[in-house]
Amino acid sequence: MEPVVSLKRPPIECTSLSPNAPIWQDVLAQAMTGELIAAMNYTSLSEICDDPEEVADALEHAEGEQGHAAAFAAEGRKMGVDVAHNVEALHWKRLREAFLRCIRERDFIGCLIVQEIMLESFAVASYSRVGKVAPGSLGKTFAAIAAEEEEHVAHAMAILREERARNPQRFDAKVYGLHLEVMTTLAKMLAKECKDGHCEVCHESCVKPSLAEVSLSAAELRGASLQQYMRTLDMLGIPGEVTLVWVTQLPV
Amino acid sequence: MGDAVASVGRQGTDFALIGHQESWRAAAEVIAVLRGPERTPLPDDEIKDILPWIPPRTICHVEVASITGANARGLYIDSFIPPDRLDPDYLHENIARVRSAATYAIKAGAKIVSLGGFSSILLEGNFDQLPERHETVFTTGNTLTVGFIVQGIQRMCALEGRSIRRSTLLIVGATGDVGSGCARCLAPVVKRVLLAARNLERLRRFKAELKADGVQVEIATNLQQFSEEADIVICAASLAAPSLLLSRIATDAIVCDAGYPKNLSPTAEMPGAKIFFGGLGQITGGLRFAPDFRGILNRHPFPNVVHGCLLEGMALALEGRFEPFSRGRGFITPQRVEEIEAIAARHGIYLAPLYNAEGPVEDELHCQTEWSRG
């Protein structure tokens, strides 16, 4: 596959590794993979847009996500670690496939739901949590990117709310269908233990058990992500009692 | 997808009940119903990890029927306050949750909202935290709770052949809204009143109020300090968990645990005491939950039993009186209690049969005393 982002690597600047560097390395690898998936998704989206303005918008978003990936890679270099990425990894590949299905069906709204509502909820919530505990520029980068991702969501919300107003029942059914596929995968990814084997992104063993060493936990990242997701669905106007059932039925 | 429930919701919202679960077991049962019978219940550690992140929202629709033939539709909104986070360390977080639940009730168009358990804090002195509310009114529901506690004491005394007039009454949590309301109702009919609370200044002020009415009253911040033993006890303290150990009470004292969460510690040893859970009423006209949360949101050994605080909102909705009946702290009077009891009784809402952790304390068939008829 052609690389979506060129990550030309200047020499690593840091001379001594902090004891937590391997943990941050894996956190950055997950974030960078997510950003690259997002960049690929927006690039794909541009191919099904009819309106030139929408095409430009999607490509601009793709570029933005590539920038985020590059920023994460740069944070790794500052720390003295090489941040790997793997868009073919177990869960990420499934998430990409779900998006590509919407592309094949030329389902612009479905694409927005997957990327902006589901994947971005996860990104905004988890980056915000990481931003609060990560040291120095690493924390600032996560917090800044979380804020930018939130702006994306706000942009898409207007389109999605308008779509829902046309036919709430049909819209909610579409969200539910995508929820079953995408959120189930995300929930497995965010589970406290990886029951489906190695995620193929962490550089050695699973990083989740070590997250406590940097004041994070898999449970917290999952909780914050699902909370953000429910709040985003609230903003769309989907009844909270319905989305509560959806979320409680996800695998743990 | 919950279409059936959503369609019930479109029929209008007379009332909303804001609550939270008092134990992890109760919370786990709520989650199990939401997951549905075909999915395995989540392990306890997962429930404890997930629940704190759930934003307040409706978990079911409630329909209550009056014996007059009227009915009212409402929502049960869970604030999802984790059962182990009711202590003061989480005060601001919990107020934010209740506020968010209140906003949810307003958006749902509820005409009256009852604030159950900890949620009443929003109306007992934190008015500024209430969201802008347009057509929605809020009640703590504490007046009807007081009514059912007092009725319960009277019924238990009748069952045990005790004279209220010759009794010494101890109220734990006496300066709270419920505790002070109980004191005002029962002080005129008992021999002596012992008031226990954490805030000595409030206790002094309340003592002065009751003494001015000719009541024999003693106050203490420590139960050991009272000069005599109580033979009727009302536990109405705001405790984060059941932890109260009663001391200096008569061995055969009548003890009403009216806390939510319960006040009495499971390790409290009072073999001769007649303990019952107070503040509960029973709806005789009919109560329906969609989805079916019967026995989960109201975990009692008798059908259609609900906490008085929540029943107050339902009774007022059935009556068509959408007003903030209970508001603030320390304003519950015997006259207001009589008024709300009369409204509740008009719609077939009476004192529930008495029970405790071991089960019913009386034969249900013999429960229809004068008190239960209101």
Q: Are residues B164 and B289 in the same domain?
A: no
A209 preceded by a cis bond (ω within 30 of 0): no
Residue B374 in any domain: the answer is no
Structural domain range at position B225? 144-279+354-366
Residue B233 in any domain: the answer is yes
Residue B235 in any domain: the answer is yes
Q: Are residues B201 and B273 in the same domain?
A: yes
Residue B300 in any domain: the answer is yes
Q: Are residues B343 and B274 in the same domain?
A: no
Cα dihedral B273, B279, B280, B285 sign? positive
Cα dihedral A242, B314, B353, B193 sign? positive
Contact A41, A117 (CB under 8 A): no
Give the span between the Cα atoms of B263 and B117, in whole angstroms. 12
- Could you give the 3-state DSSP secondary structure of residue B234? strand
pLDDT number for residue B7: 36
The angle subtended at Cα B355 by Cα B350 and Cα B359, nearest 5°, is 140
- To which H or E segment does residue B368 belong? none
CA A52 remoteness from chain centre: 26
Assign 3-class secondary structure to A97-139.
HHHHHHHHCCCHHHHHHHHHHHHHHHHHHHHHHHHHHCCHHHH
Q: Are residues B130 and B14 in the same domain?
A: yes
Q: By the CB < 8 Å criterion, does B42 face chain A?
A: yes
Closest CA to A242 of A179, A165, A182: A179
Question: Which domains can be identified in chain A, with CATH numbers?
Answer: 21-248 (1.20.1260.10)
pLDDT band at A200 (very low <50, low <70, confident <90, very high): confident
- To which H or E segment does residue B306 belong? strand B305-307
pLDDT number for residue B371: 34
Q: By the CB < 8 Å criterion, does A67 face chain B?
A: no
What would the mean pLDDT of A218-230 be, rounded to a whole number?
Answer: 94
Give the span between the Cα atoms of B71 and B304, in whole angstroms. 15
Q: Are residues B220 and B361 in the same domain?
A: yes
Q: Are residues B150 and B265 in the same domain?
A: yes
The angle subtended at Cα B170 by Cα B168 and Cα B176, nearest 5°, is 145
pLDDT band at A89 (very low <50, low <70, confident <90, very high): confident
Percent of chain B residues topping a pLDDT of 90: 76
Q: Are residues B191 and B299 in the same domain?
A: no
Unique residue bearing structure tokens 């109405």 = B236
Q: Are residues B11 and B135 in the same domain?
A: yes
- Domain count along chain B: 2
By CB neighbour count within 10 A (0-12 exposed, 13-18 middle, 19+ buried), where does A101 fall? middle
Q: Are residues B254 and B302 in the same domain?
A: no
Contact B157, B255 (CB under 8 A): no
Residue B242 in any domain: the answer is yes
Of A192, A219, A244, the CB nearest to B34: A244
Q: By the CB < 8 Å criterion, does A212 face chain B?
A: no
Closest CA to B182 of B205, B210, B204: B210
Q: Give the CATH number of the domain where residue B205 resides.
A: 3.40.50.720
Is there a contact between B6 and A242 if contact means CB atoms under 8 Å apart? yes
Q: Are residues B162 and B197 in the same domain?
A: yes
Which ipTM was obtained for this model? 0.86
Unique residue bearing structure tokens 């509960």 = B280
Give the span between the Cα atoms of A9 and B292, in whole angstroms. 59
Contact A96, A33 (CB under 8 A): no
Of B6, B9, B31, the CB nearest to A248: B31
What would the mean pLDDT of B356-367 be, rounded to a whole number?
Answer: 73
Task: Name the DSSP letter for residue B84.
Answer: T
Give the span between the Cα atoms of A76 and A70, in whole angstroms. 10
Tell whether the model's pLDDT for residue A12 goes beyond 60.
no
Tell whether the model's pLDDT for residue A67 goes beyond 60.
yes
What would the mean pLDDT of A106-118 be, rounded to a whole number?
Answer: 96
Tell whether the model's pLDDT for residue A14 goes beyond 60.
no
Please tell me which residue of chain B has the smallest CA distance to A180: B1
What would the mean pLDDT of B12-37 be, rounded to a whole number?
Answer: 94
Interface of A with B in 132-161 (CB under 8 A): none
A222 vs B contacts (CB less than 8 Å)? 49-50
Contact A57, A2 (CB under 8 A): no
Unique residue bearing structure tokens 């989650």 = B31
Closest CA to A164 of A151, A153, A177, A175: A175
Tell whether the model's pLDDT for residue B367 goes beyond 50.
no
H helix intervals, A105-250 = 108-112, 120-133, 136-166, 168-178, 184-190, 218-236, 240-248
Of B36, B60, B104, the CB nearest to A240: B104
- To which H or E segment does residue B287 belong? strand B287-290
Q: How many CB pairs under 8 A join A and B?
A: 67
Residue B104 in any domain: the answer is yes
Substitution target from B5, B21, B38, B54 for chain A, most A beta carbons within 10 A: B54
By CB neighbour count within 10 A (0-12 exposed, 13-18 middle, 19+ buried), where does A86 fall? middle
Q: Residue B197 has which token pair? A: 């609370």
pLDDT number for residue B238: 87
CA B241 remoteness from chain centre: 15
B250-307 pLDDT tens trace: 999 999 999 998 999 988 888 899 999 999 999 999 999 999 998 888 889 899 999 9
Residue burial A126-165, b: 16+ Cβ < 10 Å; e: rest: bbbbbbeebeeebeebbbebbebbbebbeebbeebeebbe
Give the span between the Cα atoms of A139 and B113, in whole angstroms. 42
Residue B71 in any domain: the answer is yes
What would the mean pLDDT of B190-211 be, rounded to a whole number?
Answer: 96
Q: Are residues B76 and B113 in the same domain?
A: yes
**This prediction's pTM:** 0.88
Residue B212: which residues within 8 A CB-CB, separation 6 or more?
A: none
Reported in sequence order, the residue ranges of B66-202 that DSSP labels E, i.e. its strands, are 71-78, 112-115, 137-139, 168-172, 192-196
What would the mean pLDDT of B44-60 be, rounded to a whole number?
Answer: 95
Unique residue bearing structure tokens 């909820």 = A121
Q: Are residues B187 and B274 in the same domain?
A: yes
pLDDT number for residue B9: 40
pLDDT number for residue B75: 97
Residue B199 in any domain: the answer is yes
Q: Residue A189 has which token pair? A: 């990814």
Tell whether the model's pLDDT for residue A92 goes beyond 60.
yes
